[in-house]
Copies of this chain bind each other. A is one copy, B any other.
Amino acid sequence: MNAMAVYTEVSDAELIAFLATYDLGELLACKGIAEGVENSNFYLHVSAGSFILTLYEKRVAQEDVPFFLALMEHLAAHGLNCPRPVRNSAGAALGRLAKRPAAIVTFLDGYAIHHPNVAHCAALGEALAKLHLAGAGFPLRRANALSVEGWRKLFAPAAARADEVAAGLEQIVTAELDHLERLWPRHLPLGVIHADLFPDNVLFVGDRISGLIDFYFACTDALAYDIAICLNAWCFDANGSFDAAKSRALLDAYRALRPLERREIEQLPVLARGAAVRFLLTRFVDQLEAPRGALVRLKDPLEYLTKLRFHQKVATAADYGLSP
């Protein structure tokens, strides 16, 4: 769900009191910005420079916030361009503001590319490999709540309404979940994955990636599953057809930094089907739950049904532009 809204207002007095716990100088400006998952984000200008202030709203489990902040700190320390949490005078990256967990991270220049081309996909492949390499050695773990074990639970309460979205959808998803639960690979190389690396979360300046953002789905899972998510999010055209040139560019750039193991390559098609189901399901559930008339832009679940159908016909990873 892409909610273009700020959920919480922060008064000048509470913000100034909060900033007094940091060593960032004087408050100069603070503007609510519309971005990211359902947190409240602010562009923050202080004497020390530009930052992002985030208040964690209920969609992000509060017990997970320390994982996300520690991860961004680890990745930034290992050379990844991503928001770096700022620690307050007591050494803590997480504080409280307006009755919510709150953090300040560095502001990254860059903007999302809405229609990525082959060169953008190559840049993404390189950045994804850098993320996976930078994540090695990160000591914390977080299970992926939106992987195969979670999908049937997510679908069950909404299944009866699936056919409102597309005729036969309940049967299609049920059969796909049967397939995925049977064949989901269990022994692939694990590590920190972003798990939501859509074009919205990859900042470019010109043709160069300036940063990766929005780590609030990050978790410990198969690294190749992160690639599968990116194949879905970056390598289809607006009309729904798969673009093997983009996929090849993404995979080649990735492999140049982190070679893929044979089993990762072999499992790409089933991982890509799983990734398509994951976004089909969350978009479908968001659509059912959204209040009518709300100022929320919903993403189309059917886009992911089209992508799922493509992956269902893929025979081997060669269809993604890779040699097996």
- Seen from chain A, the residues whose Cβ lies within 8 Å of a Cβ on chain B are 3-6, 9, 11-13, 15, 26-35, 43, 45, 107-115, 203-206, 291-297
- Indicate whether A32 sits within 8 Å of B29 (C-beta atoms), given known contacts A293-B291, A294-B295: no
Say yes or no: B295 contacts A205, CB within 8 Å. Answer: no
Q: Residue on B with the closest CB to A29?
A: B109
List the 9 closest A-B pairs by CB distance, nearest first. Answer: A32-B34, A291-B293, A28-B109, A31-B33, A11-B114, A295-B295, A6-B34, A5-B295, A29-B109
Say yes or no: A296 contacts B293, CB within 8 Å. Answer: no
Say yes or no: A13 contacts B110, CB within 8 Å. Answer: no
Shortest CB-to-CB span from A230 to chain B, Å, is 19
With a cutoff of 8 Å between Cβ atoms, the chain B residues found around residue A203 in the complex are: 29
With a cutoff of 8 Å between Cβ atoms, the chain B residues found around residue A28 in the complex are: 109-111, 205
With a cutoff of 8 Å between Cβ atoms, the chain B residues found around residue A13 in the complex are: 114-115
With a cutoff of 8 Å between Cβ atoms, the chain B residues found around residue A114 in the complex are: 11-13
Distance, CA A292 to CA B294, complexed state (A): 8
With a cutoff of 8 Å between Cβ atoms, the chain B residues found around residue A107 in the complex are: 29
Distance, CA A303 to CA B44, complexed state (A): 31
Say yes or no: A31 contacts B27, CB within 8 Å. Answer: no
Additional pairs, 12, CB under 8 Å, beyond known A33-B33, A291-B293: A4-B32, A12-B112, A12-B114, A27-B205, A28-B110, A31-B33, A31-B34, A31-B43, A32-B35, A34-B34, A292-B293, A293-B294
With a cutoff of 8 Å between Cβ atoms, the chain B residues found around residue A291 in the complex are: 293
Say yes or no: B29 contacts A110, CB within 8 Å. Answer: yes
Say yes or no: B31 contacts A35, CB within 8 Å. Answer: yes
With a cutoff of 8 Å between Cβ atoms, the chain B residues found around residue A204 in the complex are: 12
With a cutoff of 8 Å between Cβ atoms, the chain B residues found around residue A29 in the complex are: 107-111, 203
With a cutoff of 8 Å between Cβ atoms, the chain B residues found around residue A292 in the complex are: 293
- Indicate whether A12 sits within 8 Å of B111 (C-beta atoms), given known contacts A4-B5, A33-B34, A294-B294: yes
- Indicate whether A45 sits within 8 Å of B109 (C-beta atoms), given known contacts A11-B114, A115-B13: yes
With a cutoff of 8 Å between Cβ atoms, the chain B residues found around residue A27 in the complex are: 111, 205
Shortest CB-to-CB span from A30 to chain B, Å, is 5
Name 6 A/B residue pairs within 8 A (Cβ), A-sorted: A3-B295, A29-B203, A31-B33, A32-B35, A294-B295, A295-B295
Distance, CA A110 to CA B27, complexed state (A): 8
Shortest CB-to-CB span from A10 to chain B, Å, is 9
With a cutoff of 8 Å between Cβ atoms, the chain B residues found around residue A297 in the complex are: 9
With a cutoff of 8 Å between Cβ atoms, the chain B residues found around residue A43 in the complex are: 31, 33, 43
Say yes or no: B294 contacts A26, CB within 8 Å. Answer: no
Distance, CA A65 to CA B45, complexed state (A): 29
Shortest CB-to-CB span from A97 to chain B, Å, is 14
- Centre residue among A5, A11, A292 by max chain B CB count within 10 A: A5
Distance, CA A35 to CA B9, complexed state (A): 11
